[in-house]
Every structure is written in structure tokens, then in C-alpha cells.
């Protein structure tokens, strides 16, 4: 089985670029033959790698030409290369916003395609963020990735239709597509993972009840909901709520009163999140929308119990390794803060379950699951062809 892995960004950089880098490394570890075609490479990967917008140290200046144009150039180059590779490729793996020509080329040749879905359906994500911003009276920062963009939405919805299969890392993401009419037969499931060499538990007991919010401090991630719940909980009196992430100015103004509370530490962008997780009892993530929630498995790997919304439940199990609340249910989240603050035996049991399960959620395990997803693609395609 040989996979063409097309990625229209700099693989190995931050956020989804890191996800893609770990994904390819996991496939390599699972014995999958991968030819990677990223736009550029931030750190090397152990597979055949053919960048589209870079050669050696020379790179096309993406900031100069713009991301949308760079995606189109990348897509065109990958499509041309795919035409030459022909049937030596078994599955084409693409990522959003840079896949239209590649998907069309694969369809002409007769090679099955998957489109990675690192988030929920784009229209769903746009609408839920817009509605919540309106509800709380906050504006998105200029150029925010969740600002409603019809050109991006139109292009991505065309990709959704063209791809043979949508590769969804969570049941929540899959449901947002099925709710918009996509057949379950078009959806292939897999998961993401975490690096167990960076995220591991600390055997030392915590001195103070500590909650951590880690990542982009945004409306979509529900920081305002977490802080409102914290304010209602008993933990606010002698616990600490840490925020490891940059808060946009308008959002920070909305949160100003609670951010000024002595129990809350707004730490800004941090590079020591693994250590912060080891120091925390709880990771809180009351997201309105998620594709997977990498930070949740990183927390599990660190022995830090996730308190999450139903958008983040792929590897989180209520009353087993986490506590779960309905999206937007501030009172339940407040009750959960209070419960774990007061019931340290329950907190310890959940923490121990996280530690016992931690190796089930690594990038190595995710690579094996993605290999199985490709096999499912080929099996389904064979049934269709028959």
C-alpha cells in the first residue's frame, strides 16, 4: 500500500502542521509506504518527501503571494505529479483548501481519495462561532480563521463533495457532516494522538487544586464558559485557574472582571505546556466545536483529568478518565469543578485511569489506526467497483 500525502502548509510547524508531521511519522512507524508532498518542511520526516513550494533552502514567499494562491499552486503541482505517478499510488490523502485539482486528477486516474477533516463541517464551525460571538457581544480578531469567508467555504464544500471519503478524527466531526446530508458510507474514522516522550505524569502530589486551560484562548474553545463556571464553583476560593494561551483584545475586555480575580492566572502563550499539565489536576476544554481536541489526549497522557464538552469526547469517557458536559452547560461544568475540588478520591481515581490508559492514545497508536482507515478505504472501493 502506497500513500500520496498532500499537505498545503509547512509540515512540522505549529498546530495542524505539527499534526500532519506526527501523522506521517506514525504511518512510517506502522509500515506504510508514504510519499509526502507538503508545501515546505519545517522539520524532517522519515519518508520520501517532495516539497511543492520549496527546494533546499529556497522557498516561495507565501506571505508575499498570499495563502490562498499558495494553496492553489501547491494543489496544481501535486495534481501534475499524481498524473505521472499514476497507479503506483493506492490512496491519495489530502488536506482542506489545497485539494481540488488533486482530487480531480485522482478521480480521472481512478485512485481513491480521502480528505482530512481536522475540524467539524466548516459551515457548522462558522455558524456556531458567529452565534456565540453575537450572544456574548465579542468580535473576532481581524483575519481570524473562523471569520465567515464565503470563498473558503465554497472551495471547501466543493472538496467535501469531490473526495471519495471524509477522514474524521471524532464522532462529533462526523456527525456535523451527516447532519448536513453526507452518507455515513462517505465517512472514514481515525484518531490523532500525542507524544508520550513530552507528555507524561508527575508522581509528585499537587500542592494546590489547579485547573489548566491550554491552547488558543478563543470563543470557539469556550474560555468564557470555563471562567463563568469557575466563578460559580467552590474551587475559586482556594484553587488556581491557569490560562496558557493568548487572549484576543476584545475577548480579554469581555473577560476582564474574572481575569482580575486572584485565583486566575493569565499566562499568555507558553512553550512549557507539558510541564503545566503535569502540575495541573484538571484540563478544562468546554469547546463549542472541535475536530478532535489534541490537548485532551495530551492531558490524559500527563495524568491531568479532562473536563470537556460533548465536542471533545472522542477519547474522553465520562466518570472513567474525564467528566463531560453538554455544550454551553455552565452550571454542570461548575458542579464538576466543585465535585473534584471536594472529592479528592474521585479525582485520584480518574487520574489513575488516565495514567493506566495513556499509551492507548499515542501517535504510534494513531498511525496504526490510520493505516487501518486506508485499508477500509480500499475495501469499500473494491465493493463499489464490484
**DSSP labels for 105-139?**
HHHHHT--EEEEESSS-HHHHHHHHHHHHHHHT-P
- Helices 122-136 and 150-162 cross at an angle (nearest 10°) of 150
- Closest C-alpha to 210, from 256, 263, 165, 258: 263
CB 304 within 8 A of CB 274: no
Residues 6+ apart with CB under 8 A from 153: 122, 123, 126
CB 207 within 8 A of CB 279: no
CB 291 within 8 A of CB 285: no
Number of neighbours of residue 260 by Cβ within 10 angstroms? 9
What torsion, rounded to 10 degrees, do the Cα atoms 349, 353, 302, 312 define? Answer: -100
Mean pLDDT by 10 residues, the chain (386 residues): 96 95 97 97 95 79 80 96 94 97 97 96 95 95 86 93 96 96 96 97 88 94 98 97 95 96 96 96 96 95 97 90 97 98 97 96 97 95 69
Distance (Å, whole) CA 351 – CA 281: 8
pLDDT of residue 154: 93
pLDDT of residue 57: 66
pLDDT of residue 143: 82
How is the beta sheet containing 240-244 ordered, strand by strand? 264-266, 240-244, 210-214, 282-285, 305-309, 323-325
In the chain the first and final C-alpha atoms are separated, in Å, by 20
pLDDT of residue 142: 84
Task: List the grid coordinates of 85.
Answer: 505517478
Sign of CA dihedral 60, 66, 71, 77: negative
Topology match between the domains 2-193+363-385 and 210-361:
yes
- Beta strand 54-55 with 58-59 is antiparallel
Distance (Å, whole) CA 49 – CA 38: 8
Residue extents of the structural domains in the chain: 2-193+363-385, 210-361
Per CATH, the number for 2-193+363-385 is 3.40.50.2000
pLDDT of residue 384: 67
Distance (Å, whole) CA 48 – CA 223: 41
How does DSSP classify residue 362? B
Task: List the grid coordinates of 227.
Answer: 471562567
CB 169 within 8 A of CB 292: yes
Strand pairing partners for 264? Answer: 241
CATH topology (fold) of 210-361 = Rossmann fold (3.40.50)
pLDDT of residue 385: 63
User: What's 173-219 look like in SS3?
Assistant: HHHHHHCCCCCHHHEEECCCCECCCCCCCCCCCCCCCEEEEECCECC
Amino acid at each position: 500500500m502506497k500513500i500520496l500525502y498532500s499537505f498545503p502548509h509547512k509540515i512540522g510547524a505549529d498546530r495542524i502542521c505539527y499534526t500532519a508531521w506526527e501523522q506521517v511519522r506514525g504511518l512510517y512507524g506502522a509500515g506504510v509506504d508514504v510519499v509526502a508532498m507538503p508545501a515546505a518542511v519545517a522539520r524532517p520526516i522519515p519518508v520520501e518527501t517532495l516539497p511543492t513550494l520549496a527546494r533546499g533552502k529556497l522557498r516561495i514567499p507565501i506571505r508575499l503571494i498570499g495563502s490562498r494562491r499558495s494553496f492553489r499552486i501547491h494543489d496544481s503541482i501535486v495534481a501534475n505529479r499524481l498524473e505521472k505517478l499514476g497507479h503506483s499510488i493506492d490512496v491519495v490523502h489530502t488536506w482542506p483548501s489545497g485539494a481540488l485539482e488533486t482530487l480531480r486528477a485522482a478521480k480521472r486516474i481512478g485512485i481513491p481519495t480521502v480528505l482530512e477533516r481536522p475540524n467539524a463541517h466548516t459551515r457548522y464551525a462558522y455558524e456556531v462561532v458567529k452565534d456565540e460571538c453575537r450572544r456574548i457581544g465579542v468580535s473576532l480578531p481581524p483575519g481570524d480563521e473562523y471569520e465567515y469567508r464565503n470563498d473558503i467555504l465554497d472551495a471547501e464544500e466543493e472538496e467535501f463533495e469531490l473526495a471519495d471519503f471524509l477522514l474524521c478524527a471524532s464522532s462529533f466531526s462526523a456527525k456535523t457532516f451527516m447532519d448536513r446530508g453526507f452518507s455515513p458510507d462517505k465517512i472514514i474514522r481515525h484518531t490523532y494522538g500525542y507524544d508520550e516522550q513530552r507528555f507524561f505524569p508527575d508522581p509528585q502530589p499537587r500542592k494546590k487544586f489547579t485547573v489548566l486551560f491550554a491552547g488558543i484562548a478563543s470563543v470557539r474553545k469556550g474560555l468564557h464558559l470555563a471562567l463563568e463556571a469557575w466563578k460559580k464553583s467552590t474551587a475559586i476560593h482556594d484553587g488556581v485557574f491557569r490560562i496558557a494561551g493568548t487572549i484576543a483584545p476584545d475577548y480579554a475586555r469581555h473577560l476582564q472582571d474574572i481575569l482580575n480575580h486572584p485565583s486566575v492566572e493569565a499566562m499568555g502563550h507558553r512553550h512549557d505546556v507539558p510541564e503545566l499539565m503535569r502540575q495541573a489536576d484538571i484540563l478544562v476544554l468546554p469547546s463549542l466545536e472541535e475536530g478532535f481536541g489534541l490537548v485532551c489526549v495530551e492531558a490524559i497522557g500527563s495524568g491531568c483529568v479532562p473536563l470537556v464538552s460533548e465536542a471533545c469526547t472522542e477519547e474522553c469517557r465520562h466518570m472513567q478518565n474525564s467528566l463531560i458536559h453538554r455544550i454551553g452547560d455552565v452550571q454542570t461544568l461548575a458542579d464538576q469543578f466543585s465535585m473534584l475540588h471536594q472529592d479528592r478520591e474521585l479525582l485520584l481515581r480518574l487520574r489513575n485511569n488516565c495514567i493506566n490508559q495513556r499509551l492507548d492514545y499515542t501517535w504510534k497508536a494513531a498511525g496504526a489506526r490510520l493505516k487501518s482507515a486506508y485499508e477500509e478505504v480500499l475495501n469499500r472501493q473494491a465493493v463499489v467497483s464490484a
